[in-house]
Chain A
Amino acid sequence: MKWYKKNNHYLLLSPALIFTVCLVGCGLIMAFLESIRAFESPSFDTYQELLAGETFITSLLYSLCIALFSTLISIIIGLLLVRSTFPVLKRLFPKLIAWTPMVFPHFVWGYMLFLLFSQSGYFSSLLNLIGLMDDKVNFPILFKDPFGIGIILTYVWKEVPFVILILMPVYEQLSRSQKELVYTLGGKSWDVFWHVERPYVFPVLYETFFIIFTFVVSAYEVPALLGATYPKMISVLTFDWFFGSDWTKQPDAFAAMILLTLMTVFIVFILFTLTKNRRIFLIQTNGENKEYSKAKKYEKLFFLLIAISTFLPLTLVFITSLTKKWEYGHLLPDFISTRGWHVLLVNSPQLQEAVLTSMGICILVLIINLLLGIPAAKGLAFYEFRGKSLIETILLTPILIPAIAIAMGVHLTFIRLGLANHWSGVALVHLLPTLPYTIKILRAGYERIGKQQEEVAISLGGHPLRIFQSVYLPQLMPSIRSLVFLVTVISLSQYFLTALIGGGAVTTMAILFFPYFKTADDSVIASFSILFAIIPIVIYLMVEVIFRLILPKQTR
């Protein structure tokens, strides 16, 4: 009893910790054993062959380059946009507009950009219309090109809103008085950036860099749809090896993922050590100071840029979904019809099943996320203890280590446990790319509310569950809302993990989208794309209704 009282935080953290350690640990060990064919005659031959062959090395370097460029460009653009439009972005509607791309899975957004930038896309068509270009072949090849421009474009377009999302709270916390101090001491705006913003912004940027880089380097979906046949990104190569007809290539797939894991861990470790002494979490204000915002130069212009980059692909995909015929070189579609929607919703019985399966998985993923995430977030927010940074790192590993490597490793274990080929198993692996975000978001929520409210409530006679329900849950709602969106979208975006653990028996929307994408029937694909954004909104509304029922009523 006494131990329990004194070590409350370990109890809060253990569910999430045990889950993460089991899944990540087991996954990596099993993947390693498979890669050295430990179950036949163990050897490192596979590694030697991989490292000697050109295919793997090219693919690895290609992946690293694309990831590096995508991440750096996203972070720079994101930082510039937040700095130049911050006062506008604080308001609700501008914020929603900036974040809208996040509602679409990466590959769906990739398709939307494909509609804009491909050789037969809208921009090419427009150039033809105004007479600058006679034929579509003159338009530069941006998609399925060997340089991966389309892939980088998609990632940047999608990650910039993510960077904005991460940086906004930092800029909201920056104290105005420190800026003014620098000005009165004779500093210029560069000095303000360097001495006031940098100490708070850079640590966050490092972390954002890790997260985006490790995601892009190992993500499968976007390069699979928009990449060239050569060179292939490492994840696509792994997929081919793993699911290909040649069974002897399977150990190569495992070895490739183990090497990629080592590579990312190595890079993250190097960057982490280099930036370590600057990664102190600093809190400047208690959030109570209401800073009046001075309008920035060109802030409207920059915001217009954000709005265009959100609405252009959105409008185009919407129009395309209602198009029957759209000749190249025409400004507007020639025939409008709802055929795309009709084919999708009426003539594809598979789709209805896929929507239901996807939503079921999303909801299960959400529930487990909240059950594991809420106590863990509270433990991290309210307690200081030995080994805290280690535990934080462990809880973050699922998004730093390629989820594909882990999933391939636990695949056999899941088969034995009867979790494979079933939607519950799929939901479990979907926790890998979502749980770290849930914990991060909820932790920030708890830190904002503070521990003292709990002590007041205890002193006034409240018991833990009642305090959670009437004091913390209502105040955590903003955090829960954003994580509902994030978790749902991430779960909907998983093709590789779902295909692997679902083994063809679990048909989610992502699984169905890939074959559709190859049909080239644009109005159907466009309708399907929009459907992807509708699901998170539906789930969000469902969650909202449920919480309205749980939460104590505010009316008297």
Chain B
Amino acid sequence: MNSYIELQNITKHFKKQSVLNIPSLSINKGEIVSIVGPSGTGKSTLLRILAGLEEPDSGQIFIENQSMAGITPQDRPVVYMFQESLLFPHMDLLENVAFGLKMRRVNKTKRYELSRNMMKRVGIEGLESRYPHEISGGQKQRAALARSLIVNPKVLLLDEPFSNLDTELRKETRRWMKRLLKDEKITVLFVTHDLEEAMAMGDRVAIFRDGQMQQFAVPEDLYDSPANPFVSSFLHAGFWMGDRFIPSSTLTICNEVNDTFHHWKAEIVETFFQDSKNHLVVCLNNCEHLITLTSEKHKKVGDQVILQEKEAVNEKGGKE
């Protein structure tokens, strides 16, 4: 086994209902893996099992070729970070950050020195004697990260760490966090339900549905060759024609129908302008698939359009 984290046949049931079933999953050292999927699909359960906060019904976990069976959550080289920052409200930030070292009985001078350095690294120096209720949401997340990183975990588990932040702060925090995590060369599992966040943070992305991993690949592969219709529709990546997958990146809106090639009728369900481009969300008429396209053309919601593959349009253009 060369991989850093290795999961084999992990299953977990709640009240006789399967909530997690992973035949195998390997993660490399220093890799950031995003886990994305609709809510209630066992993403958090996976993290909790890795952290040792819950026990799997069956299966094994190896970290650096060492089995985690029977190892208490305290002794695992893994730190779990929750949705809310969950800083201890009765401690100031320095004490919060130093908590893990205190649990390891590092002496006071040493642990406060290390904590100050860590706070500098995450950019919250000067807030040492503030209490959690006195600082902003972004600062809380930074403090929580510092508290997690101070114990030098081999693996960091992030459970929707940005969900309590507003949009702009979310983006800023995730960029900063990714850079820091890459610098520290920490292996990270990152759970989110936000697709954009998953793609931005993860080196590889795992897509979950009903406790089953649907696909685990780099973002490009997910979009270009999704493993099944769930993945493609979850990503709005395109649609399937029989066995052939048609990525939305190859589709374009055309004005007239060219009968020699396939075409699909569709209805515009949403339009929005972002990043200097006009985005159209369209719904294919015969199936419920949603696809997001960019287009120069201005369309209104409710307009009927015709989609064709770009190659086909180009070919036609070439003939003329």
- Interface residue A466 (Cβ < 8 Å from any Cβ of B): yes
Contacts of A456 in B (CB 8 A): 80-82, 86
Those 10 A-B pairs whose CB atoms lie nearest each other, nearest first = A460-B100, A459-B80, A462-B103, A461-B103, A474-B90, A458-B73, A461-B74, A456-B86, A459-B79, A475-B90
Q: Residues of A contacting B89 with CB < 8 Å?
A: 475
B86 interface neighbour in A452, A462, A474, A475, Cβ under 8 Å? A452
- Bound CA–CA A453/B91 (angstroms): 13
Question: When the two chains form their complex, are residues A457 and B103 in contact, meaning their CB atoms are under 8 A apart?
Answer: yes
- Is B80 touching A461 in the complex (CB atoms < 8 A)? no
* Contacting residues, chain B, for A463 (C-beta < 8 A): 74, 103
| CB neighbours of B102 from chain A (8 A) | 470
User: Chain A: which residue is nearest B92 at the CB level?
Assistant: A554
Taking CB as reference atom, which chain A residue is nearest B112? A556
Does A466 lie within 8 Å of B51, measured CB to CB?
Answer: no
A456 to B108, CA, bound (A): 21
In the complex, A455 has a CB within 8 A of chain B: yes
Q: Are A460 and B112 in contact (CB under 8 A)?
A: no
Q: A286's closest neighbor in chain B, by CB?
A: B84
Q: For the complex, is A471 an interface residue (Cβ under 8 Å from B)?
A: yes
The residue from A459, A466, A471 contacting B88, defined by CB atoms under 8 A apart: A471
Asked if B147 is an interface residue, CB under 8 A from chain A, the answer is yes
Q: Given the known A-B contacts A459-B51, A460-B148, A461-B74, are A452 and B82 also in contact in the complex, defined by CB atoms under 8 Å?
A: yes
CB-nearest residue of chain A to B53: A455
A474 to B34, alpha carbons, bound, how many Å? Answer: 37
Would you give the 0/1 interface string for B70-109, flagging 1 where the beta carbon is closer than 8 Å to chain A? 0001110011111010101111001100011011100010
Q: A455-B80, A456-B82, A556-B112 are in contact. Are A461 and B88 (CB under 8 A)?
A: no
> Which of A459, A461, A474, A554 is B104 in contact with, Cβ under 8 Å?
A461
What residues of chain B lie closer than 8 Å to A474, measured between beta carbons?
Answer: 90
| Closest partner residue, chain A, to B73 (CB atom) | A458
Interface 1/0s, chain A 428-457, versus B by CB < 8 A?
Answer: 000000000000000000000000110111
Q: Is B151 located at the chain interface by the 8 A CB criterion?
A: yes
How far apart are the CA atoms of A556 and B99 in the complex, in Å?
Answer: 14
Minimum C-beta distance from B317 to chain A (A): 57
Q: Is the CB of B100 within 8 A of A461?
A: yes
- Closest chain B residue to A449, Cβ basis: B89
Q: Which of A469-503 contact B (CB under 8 A)?
A: 470-471, 474-475
Residues of A within 8 A of B103 (CB): 457, 460-463, 466
Interface centre among A463, A466, A470 (most CB of B within 10 A): A470
A64 to B150, CA, bound (A): 63
**Can you spell out 24 A-B residue pairs with CB atoms less than 8 angstroms apart?**
A5-B55, A452-B86, A453-B86, A455-B51, A455-B80, A455-B82, A457-B99, A457-B103, A458-B53, A458-B73, A458-B74, A459-B79, A459-B80, A460-B147, A461-B75, A461-B104, A462-B99, A462-B103, A463-B103, A470-B99, A474-B90, A475-B88, A475-B89, A475-B90
A462 to chain B, nearest CB (A): 4
A positions within 8 Å CB-CB of B:
5, 452-453, 455-463, 466, 470-471, 474-475, 554, 556
* Cβ < 8 Å to A, chain B residues 92-151: 94-95, 99-100, 102-104, 108, 112, 147-148, 151
Q: For B147, give the chain A residue with the smallest CB separation.
A: A460
Nearest CB in chain A: distance from B107 CB, A: 13
| Chain A positions within 8 Å of B78 at CB level | 459
Q: Across the two chains, which residue of chain B brings its CB closest to A552?
A: B102
* Closest CB in chain B relative to A50 CB, distance in Å: 51
Minimum Cβ distance to chain B for residue A315 (Å)? 38
Identify the closest chain B residue to A463 (Cβ). B74
Given contacts A452-B82, A455-B80, A556-B112, contact A460 B88 (CB under 8 A): no
Give chain A nearest CB distance to B12 CB in angstroms: 14
> Which of the residues B53, B55, B99 comes within 8 Å of A460, measured between beta carbons?
B99
* Cα–Cα, bound, A5→B88 (Å): 25
The proximity string for B residues 39-67 relative to A, scoring 1 for CB distances below 8 Å and 0 otherwise, is 00000000000010101000000000000
Distance in angstroms between the alpha carbons of A458 and B53 in the assembled complex: 8
How far apart are A456's CB and chain B's nearest CB, in angstroms? 5
Closest residue of chain B to A464 (Cβ to Cβ) is B74
- Once the chains bind, are B73 and A453 in contact (CB under 8 Å)? no
- Chain B nearest CB from A6 CB (Å) reads 8
State A111–B89 Cα separation when bound (angstroms). Answer: 44
- How far is A5 from B53 in the complex, measured between Cα atoms in Å? 11
Determine if A460 and B82 form an interchain contact, defined as CB atoms under 8 angstroms apart. no
- Tell whether A459 pairs with B73 under 8 Å between CB atoms, given A470-B102, A556-B112: yes
- Bound CA–CA A466/B105 (angstroms): 10
| Chain A hits for B81, CB < 8 A | 456
B226 to chain A, nearest CB (A): 34
Q: How far is the CB of B135 from chain A (nearest CB, A)?
A: 14
B98 to chain A, nearest CB (A): 10
List the B residue with the shortest CB-CB distance to A459: B80
> A474: nearest residue on chain B (CB-CB)?
B90
Expressed in whole angstroms, the Cα–Cα distance for A458 and B99 within the complex equals 11
Residues of B within 8 A of A554 (CB): 91, 95
* Distance, CA A457 to CA B74, complexed state (A): 9
Complex CA gap A470/B111 in Å reads 16
By beta carbon, the residue of chain B nearest A470 is: B102
> A463 vs B74: C-alpha distance in the bound complex, in angstroms?
7
Residues of A within 8 A of B79 (CB): 459-460
Chain A residue at minimal CB-CB distance from B94: A556
A460/B151 in contact, CB under 8 A: yes
Q: B82: which A residues are within 8 A, CB to CB?
A: 452, 455-456
Contact B90 A461 (CB under 8 A): no
**Bound CA span A456–B84, Å:** 11
Assembly CA distance A457 to B95 (angstroms): 13
